[in-house]
Amino acid sequence: METYTVVTSTLCTLILPVILFFLTLKLWNLYCSSLRDWSCKAPLPPGTMGLPFFGETMQMLLNRKRFLEAKRRKYGRIYKTHLFGNPTVRVLGADNVRQILLGEHRLVSVRWPASVGTILGSRCLSNLHEAEHKEMKRVIMQAFSREAMETYVPLIEDEVRGAISSWLESDSSVLVYPAIKRLMFRIAMRILLGFETQEMENTLDQPLVDAFEEMIKNLFSLPIDIPFSGLYRGLRARNKIHAKIEETIKEKMVKVHRGAWKDALQLLIEHSLKGGKPVDLQAIKESATELLFGGHGTTASTATSLLTFLALHKEVLTKVRRELESNGLLCIKPKEQKYLTVDTVQKLDYIGCVLKETLRLNPPVPGGFRIALKTFTLNGYQIPKGWNVIYSIADTHSVADIFPNKEQFDPDRFLTPLPQDASRFNYIPFGGGVRTCVGKEFAKILLKIFIVELCRHCDWELVNGMPVMRNGPIASPADDLPTRFKPFNGVI
């Protein structure tokens, strides 16, 4: 009798939890299947929905690249999954992405995961809709006008040269990715928030850089706000950033603006005060935080990729220097160097091709989030109303048939302009549709200046060769890219 009791107890202890687990999993899958729109005859996309509540979020966060590659191989260019607490359809490929990006406000609308919305806030540009989005975009675009850009060029040159000088003075290798993040953060603080050089020296910008790093790292996390969770850490970091921005807002509100151009923060303040309304501090802080995030995080990622590809492809570096020489920009003596202008930078066609190819292979932002406003069909599958839709930038580039030898770094491919109808959705490093990146022209000018200054002042070598890339939420080298720099001797 005792033996029977022990066996029964053991079976209940070991087998019953397994049975309950599989039963729960079955019920979860039935529940997820019930979320389809039964009025639509098209089937749901293929795919799996993972574990109850958690879905497949943990698998993606822990090994994003391998997870997404396995999904794409198994299910193709449209598949269902469950991420960040929501049933989700992930799409890639120009034809599929075209329908999503052109369906804004009609088929889909922006909706980032709950953690992103909570951390960045509901009033930032990325989370605004229709008329509000259009108006805020118009306000911010003033900070990226042609006239404003002309004033930014010498400022950017000054900051980039200062950073490169410090790299050349280093006796050991430089961790390039953190160094470029600091550089791009300083540029963003000066241009977007209007900080003067002296203010930059006096303010504790490194703790702010660290706060941004913590915030970005935890943007995509489970929507659970408890101590030590990703969302909790992201919010704490965000609050530090908001505190500094609030100080700056209050300082600007008591100063009379006398500059020839207005930084983005000044424009946001004036827009908030329009019509005699009291200033909306929270909205301005959220918008300014988003601008700083976009203004230094994505440019730091791309600048690091540019430096990497030029180090690994010396023939491309040689072509860049020949273009600089033909435009009188290669002289390495500081007193004889031409100052750059927007016109000068825009005429550097080959450098533009290098930037395009870098963005093709390593787009800094992997994709975008939408929500289905109504049930619609995409390539034969139904996308039910209320489901999240993620469109992939990186994967769309990697499957684009208009690019031969897709894995090869070849800027020459862009020397011949691609047909606009063919390239419009095969190549989308800045997104597309009404939500195309608001600062893309500023980013192009900034990154071209970075290439010019880097190539005419120094040679460099990657300590570890081609880095392994972390791909979310912003592409970055896993080893922080240790690099040795030495002065360029002027010989091509």
Q: Distance between CA atoms of 330 and 332, rounded to whole angstroms?
A: 6
What's the mean pLDDT in 186-191? 90
Q: Is residue 316 part of a domain?
A: yes
Q: Domain limits at 132?
A: 37-487
- Record the tokens describing residue 134, joined without a space: 């259009």
What's the mean pLDDT in 15-30? 72
pLDDT at 381 over 90: yes
Tally of domains within the chain: 2
- 353 marked among binding-site residues: no
The backbone torsions φ and ψ at residue 202, rounded to the nearest 5 degrees and listed phi first, read -85, -30
- The tens digit of pLDDT for each residue in 296-324 reads 889 999 999 999 999 999 999 999 999 99
- SS3 of residue 175 by DSSP: strand
Instruction: Sort residue 385 into left (φ over 0), alpha (ψ -120 to 50) or beta.
Output: beta
Q: Distance between CA atoms of 458 and 165, rounded to whole angstroms?
A: 9
428 and 331 share a domain? Answer: yes
Give the chain's mean pLDDT: 88
Higher-pLDDT residue of 118, 14? 118
Q: Say which DSSP state 433 is in.
A: G
Least confident of 141-150, 158-167, 203-212, 218-227: 203-212
301 and 187 share a domain? Answer: yes
pLDDT score, position 128: 86
pTM above 0.85, yes or no: yes
Tell me which residue of 255, 248, 246, 217 sits closest to 233, measured CA to CA.
217
Q: Is residue 492 part of a domain?
A: no
Strands 388-392 and 86-91: parallel
pLDDT at 419 over 80: no
Tell me which residue of 459, 477, 475, 476 sits closest to 467, measured CA to CA.
477
69 and 200 share a domain? Answer: yes
- SS3 of residue 147 by DSSP: helix
Tell me which residue of 48, 29, 80 sits closest to 388, measured CA to CA.
80
56 and 3 share a domain? Answer: no
Return the half-sphere exposure (C-beta side, CA atoms, 13 A cut-off) of residue 12: 6
- The tens digit of pLDDT for each residue in 51-103 reads 887 889 888 878 888 898 999 999 999 999 999 888 999 999 999 999 999 99
Q: Environment class of residue 333 by beta-carbon count within 10 Å: exposed (0-12), middle (13-18) or buried (19+)?
A: exposed
pLDDT at 30 over 90: no
406 and 336 share a domain? Answer: yes
